[in-house]
Structure 1
Amino acid sequence: MNAAHLNTEVAFSFQLGASALLGVIHESTTPSDLGLLTIVAGGPQYRGGCGRQLVALGRRLSQEGVHVMRFDHRGLGDSEGEFQGFEALHDDIASAIAEFRRRVPGLARIILWGGCDAASAALINAHRFPEVVSVVAANPWVSSERTAARVQQKHYLSRLRQWSFWRKLLRMEYDIPSYLRSAAARLRNRIGRRRDGTDARQSTSSAQAHYIDRMLLGLQQFGGSVLFLMSGSSLISREFDELVAADREWNKTCNGAGRERLEIPGADQTFSSLQARQGMLDAASMWAGKVKVS
Structure 2
Amino acid sequence: MSRLPLSFGCGQLHLAATLDTAPGTTGLLIVSGGNEIRSGAFSGQAQLAARIARAGFPVFRFDRRGVGDSEGENRGFRHSAKDIAAAIEAFRAITPQVTRVVAFGNCDAASALMLSGGEGLSGLVLSNPWTIDHEAGGENADAALPPAAIRARYLEKLANPREVARLLGGRVNMGKLARGLVRSVTPAAAHSDLAQEMRAGLAAFTGDVRILLATADRTAQVFEAAWDASDPRIHRCEGAGHAYVEPEHRDWLQAQILVALRS
Q: Residues 188-208 of structure 1, C-alpha deviation per residue, up to 9 Å, x if partnerless?
A: xx9xxxxxxxx954xx9xxx5
2:10 is matched with which residue?
Answer: 16
Task: Indicate how the Cα distance of structure 1 residues 125 and 117 shifts in structure 2: closer, same or farther if over 3 A, else same.
Answer: same
1:135 is matched with which residue?
Answer: 124
Aligned-pair RMSD on alpha carbons?
A: 2.8
Distance (Å, rounded) in 1 between the aligned partners of 2:119 and 2:157: 46
Matched, 1:234 2:217: yes
Secondary structure, aligned partner of 1:244:
coil
Secondary structure, aligned partner of 2:17:
strand
Secondary structure, aligned partner of 2:212:
strand
Secondary structure, aligned partner of 1:167:
helix
Matched, 1:283 2:256: yes
The alpha carbon displacement at 1:226 in A equals: 1.1
The alpha carbon displacement at 1:155 in A equals: 2.6
In proportion to residue count, which structure has more helix? 1
Structure 2: which 5+ residue stretches go unaligned? 137-142
Distance (Å, rounded) in 1 between the aligned partners of 2:176 and 2:20: 47
Matched, 1:273 2:253: no
Of 205, 211, 214 in structure 2, the residue corresponding to residue 222 of structure 1 is 205
The alpha carbon displacement at 1:284 in A equals: 2.1
Give % identity.
25
Distance (Å, rounded) in 2 between the aligned partners of 1:200 and 1:237: 16
1:248 is matched with which residue?
Answer: none
Of 150, 158, 165 in structure 2, the residue corresponding to residue 153 of structure 1 is 150
Distance (Å, rounded) in 2 between the aligned partners of 1:27 and 1:126: 27
Amino acid at match of 1:137: L
Segments ≥4 residues shifted beyond 3 Å? 144-147
Distance (Å, rounded) in 2 between the aligned partners of 1:35 and 1:147: 35
Name the TM-score, length of structure 1 as normaliser.
0.76
1:100 is matched with which residue?
Answer: 91
Distance (Å, rounded) in 1 between the aligned partners of 2:146 and 2:235: 24
The alpha carbon displacement at 1:139 in A equals: 0.5
Distance (Å, rounded) in 2 between the aligned partners of 1:18 and 1:68: 24
Amino acid at match of 1:226: V
**Equivalences for residues 107-126 of structure 1 within 5 A:** 107-126=98-117
Task: Indicate how the Cα distance of structure 1 residues 175 and 157 shifts in structure 2: closer, same or farther if over 3 A, else same.
Answer: closer
Residues matched between the structures, number: 250
Distance (Å, rounded) in 2 between the aligned partners of 1:63 and 1:171: 53
2:159 is matched with which residue?
Answer: 162
Amino acid at match of 1:176: N
Amino acid at match of 2:92: R
Name the TM-score, length of structure 2 as normaliser.
0.84
The alpha carbon displacement at 1:152 in A equals: 4.3
The alpha carbon displacement at 1:163 in A equals: 4.5
Q: In 1, are the aligned partners of 2:66 and 2:72 still within 8 Å (CA)?
A: yes
**Equivalences for residues 178-193 of structure 1 within 5 A:** 179=176, 183=179
Distance (Å, rounded) in 1 between the aligned partners of 2:47 and 2:222: 28
